[in-house]
Amino acid sequence: MTSSVLFAYIRSMASPRNAFTPLYIPITNIPSSGIQLRPEFIELFKYANIESRHLITLDDLPDLSTIESQLPPENTKWILVDHNALQGQLGKIYSKRVSGVVDHHDDERKVPDNTGDEPRIIEKSGSCTSLVANYCRQAWDLLSDSATSSGAAHAQGDSLSDDDAVVKSWDAQVAHLGLASILIDTTNLQSEDKTTEHDRKAAEYLEAKIKLCTKFSANFDRDKFYEAIDSAKKDIAGLELQDILRKDYKQWDEKSRKLGVSSVVKPIEFLQQKAKDEAQSDFSTDDAFLDALKRFCEERELDLYALMTTSTSPEGEFRRELLVWAFNDAGITSAKQFASDSHDELGLGEWRGAGGEGYDSGGDGYWRRVWWQKNVQHSRKRVAPLLREAMR
């Protein structure tokens, strides 16, 4: 969300001379209902002077079954941020219209090598927003300078003497958007495994934008800002389990098979209790949890599913759990291949729940394993490609 809004905002104000269109439209790649599942969005919007209803989501696109007639591919060009392969129905219709990318995942070679005046940036960084901010930096600074000198704020009803303050306020609001995701993605720039020079450079730049605005500078504290967004992100107790699973969910198609991966900021123990509390039967805690996961996967017709959790131990140690569940023969083959190929890289170790139970099981048409992922530096950004590779 932050990558697309930041890129579209700057690019629309300073589009290339030969741009396909001067208007860049940021599409948040979730349905509108998904925004309410992200309390960190709601918290962040307070700093950016925007509301949920301002975002353009998948629900604002025409019906995908008739989208070609309402929004012909030749009338569009797409720039991907925070991913580099257009997925799902959009990918089926518009993949050949992708003309640029800014991303920090493994390059899937789906974007043309020559993107003309649009960027083709696929580099390692903790946050994709860092790459966007650094790419837009020169244009953004020119915009800020020219807006002040030309009296742009005057057009909004402010006196010319207030132009500089108004422009700096606009800049600071956008900077809050970008800085939030960088801090979340890099654990406040403290994660040695994730933080790169791209992230440090972008965070310094965006923080300077905020501090240039007197409206925000007096009370701005980066650590407190991070803690506010991070606390909101982890506040999922009020969500139902199905919503928790889809809150940070991504799906891929590989050779006509579907892979889904949910990332959750609570341990499996939390999800077990949530499932038990919501169960409309006399299910045990384990049965309620597994039934909820199975329903989630069946609704999406998945062949292979992975649940990744993060949590902190009582001793303050950062931990990851990984559950993989295959639902047919093809999925089982892929899951076993993944387990074999990725065991050492991910540091997969035996998992047992609080009561000593395990979920490792297999049978007619299914296979399931749960591990402690001891090499915690590997997030979904690494685990998902490993799963996809095993499906090929």
Average pLDDT of the residues in 145-166 = 58
The whole-number pLDDT of residue 180 equals: 98
pLDDT band at 19 (very low <50, low <70, confident <90, very high): confident
pLDDT at 283: 85
What is the structure's pLDDT at 62?
87
The reported pLDDT for the residue numbered 164 is: 72
Asked if pLDDT for residue 158 goes beyond 80, the answer is no
pLDDT of residue 161: 47
Structure tokens, 265: 């900021």
Sheet holding 120-122, edge to edge: 78-81, 98-103, 120-122
pLDDT number for residue 385:
95
**C-alpha count within 13 angstroms, C-beta hemisphere, residue 313:** 9
**Assigned fold of 2-60+123-231:** inorganic pyrophosphatase (n-terminal core) (3.90.1640)
Model confidence at 2: pLDDT above 90: yes
What is the tens place of the pLDDT at every residue in 62-103?
887 776 678 889 999 999 999 999 988 899 899 999 999 999
The crossing angle, in degrees rounded to 10, of helices 39-48 and 222-234 is: 150
Q: How confident is the model at residue 255 (pLDDT cuts 50, 70, 90)?
A: confident
> How far is Cα 244 from Cα 236, in angstroms, rounded to an integer?
7
Q: Residue 160: is its pLDDT beyond 50? A: no
- Structure tokens that stand for 97 in this block: 């219209």
Please name the CATH architecture into which domain 241-391 falls: Roll (3.10)
Determine the pLDDT at residue 147. 63
Q: What residue spans in the chain does CATH classification 3.90.1640.10 cover?
A: 2-60+123-231
Task: Tell me how far apart the alpha carbons of residues 130 and 280 are, in angstroms, rounded to a whole number.
Answer: 45
Residue 327: predicted pLDDT:
97
Is the CB of residue 24 less than 8 Å from the CB of residue 195?
Answer: no
Q: What is the pLDDT of residues 306-357, one digit of tens each?
A: 999 999 998 989 999 999 999 999 999 999 999 999 999 999 999 998 777 8
Which pLDDT value is given to residue 282?
Answer: 83
Asked if 136 and 102 count as a contact pair (C-beta separation under 8 A), the reply is no
Closest CA to 58 of 94, 97, 105, 109: 94
Residue 391, H or E segment: helix 380-391
Domain with CATH 3.10.310.20 in the chain: 241-391
Q: Give strand pairing partners of 262.
A: 249, 307
64: tokens are 């995908």
Say yes or no to pLDDT of 262 above 70: yes
